[in-house]
Structure 1
Amino acid sequence: MTFKPLLQHFKEMKHYFIVVVLVFAFSFYLGWSNSSQYSHFLDGQLKGLKTISQSLSNKENPQLWYFIFIFLNNAIKSVIVVFLGLFVGVLPLFMLVANGMILGYVLSLQTNESTLSIVLKGILPHGIIEIPVILLACAYGIKLGMLVWKSGIQLFVPVKGGTARAELIKVLQLTKPLAVVIVVLLLVAAVIESTLTYWLVHL
């Protein structure tokens, strides 16, 4: 397995990278704006995370359990969301929007500390790795979804030259090194979040 073709393919993905960043930023704004039409959904997501956090905090070695949960949760979801893109790209888009809204909503609720302090202590140390990796996974999931759409259309509308089906096969071949990159980077992020971030937040 080689990573060079994947790195070269990143150049072809630049438009998808731009799109996912813009969608994530807009979703962040929606969460930050704290609109009542979204707050019920976001409160439900935060309640579930709070329950898990409290359960992990009560264990004998909470930092180890935080690491295990964070890594498995992020790695499994991110790898799966790439392949779920084969179902016309809807689920990667949903994950992208949901993560952006939750992050924006969490920051909008902070009242005891400045937003800058929360970002520097609770998000930046691991988020500088974790967020781009999630965006990367969603970009490839959406790419696969678009190729599935194009392949379906080209069954009825033949085209000259390269086909979407050929490109779809090419991208699927890249998912193996992509999955390794995602898992390794999220492993690093989980180590940081369960150690440095954990320590900073509990100062």
Structure 2
Amino acid sequence: MKMKELFNHFKEMKHYFIVTVLVFAFSFYLGWANSDQFTNFLNNQLRGIKSISQSLSGKENPQFWFFIVIFLNNAIKSILIVFLGLGFGLLPLFMLIANGMILGYVLSLQNHGNTFALILKGIVPHGIIEIPVILMACAYGLKLGMLVWKAGIQMFVPVQLRTARSELSRVLRLTKPLAVLIAVLLLIAAIIESTLTYWLVQM
């Protein structure tokens, strides 16, 4: 069963998972520090998000539309970022850094008294699922990117020493159950975000 094979493959991905967490944490710190060179970029990202949020809030059933937009946005981006990793892993790395910086920057805008409440009410309920899933997608995107690099380098070595292409084929076969897992988990996260998180933030 491919899903079982995917779960077994997670053991081989531990170094990529560690790297994605470290990069995300460092990016979070950069966003939190609110360095002037990143402020314009982060503010532009937040303006886009705020515009969508305001548009949805004006609809007849905002929670339903929040659910649809959140799920489709996260699922499509996360699944795409896995395959876009074939472009030498550059886009997964960019998404990882951007998401970490945006989250850190948003929290840096809160005063100390409100930050804990924002994390507890606005991020934790759905974030305990959503953030690990995004990190997992980026990790597999980076894995594919690294294998593309290795396959390119191994073109100049004897055929019997070329292992990256076979490994790349194996990981690509696992992207189908990976996409299903990502979609299911992000569906659950979107339900939580559009109901429980939405309700808590309105309090």
- CA distance in structure 1 between the partners assigned to 2:135 and 2:149 by the alignment: 21
Find the residue that maps to 2:2 and give its secondary structure. coil
Structure 1 gap segments, 5+ residues each: none
Show the counterpart of 2:79. Answer: 79
Q: In proportion to residue count, which structure has more helix?
A: 2
- CA distance in structure 2 between the partners assigned to 1:112 and 1:152 by the alignment: 49
The alpha carbon displacement at 1:193 in A equals 0.1
Show the counterpart of 2:202. Answer: 202
Deviations 1:75-132 (A, max 9, x none): 0000000000001000000000000000000000013852111100000000000000
Contact 2:154/2:162 (<8 A) preserved: no
The alpha carbon displacement at 1:157 in A equals 2.2
The alpha carbon displacement at 1:160 in A equals 4.5
Percent same amino acid among aligned pairs? 74
Deviations 1:11-38 (A, max 9, x none): 0000000000000000000000011000
Q: Which moved more, 1:81-90 or 1:156-165?
A: 156-165
Show the counterpart of 2:70. Answer: 70
- CA distance in structure 2 between the partners assigned to 1:168 and 1:139 by the alignment: 14
Deviations 1:10-67 (A, max 9, x none): 0000000000000000000000001100000000000000000000000000000000
- 1:65-144 aligned at under 5 Å gives the runs 65-111=65-111, 113-144=113-144
Amino acid at match of 1:174: L
Show the counterpart of 2:150. Answer: 150
Amino acid at match of 1:91: L
Structure 2 gap segments, 5+ residues each: none
Find the residue that maps to 1:86 and give its secondary structure. coil
Amino acid at match of 2:44: G
Find the residue that maps to 1:172 and give its secondary structure. helix
Please report the TM-score for the alignment, with normalisation by the length of structure 1: 0.97
Q: Which moved more, 1:151-160 or 1:66-75?
A: 151-160
CA RMSD for the aligned pairs? Answer: 1.2
- CA distance in structure 2 between the partners assigned to 1:155 and 1:161 by the alignment: 10
The alpha carbon displacement at 1:162 in A equals 6.0
Q: Which moved more, 1:78-87 or 1:161-170?
A: 161-170
Amino acid at match of 2:116: L
Deviations 1:146-175 (A, max 9, x none): 000000110012364561000000000000
Assess, with a 3 A threshold, how the Cα gap between structure 1 residues 44 and 122 changes in structure 2: closer, same or farther. Answer: same
Contact 2:151/2:162 (<8 A) preserved: no
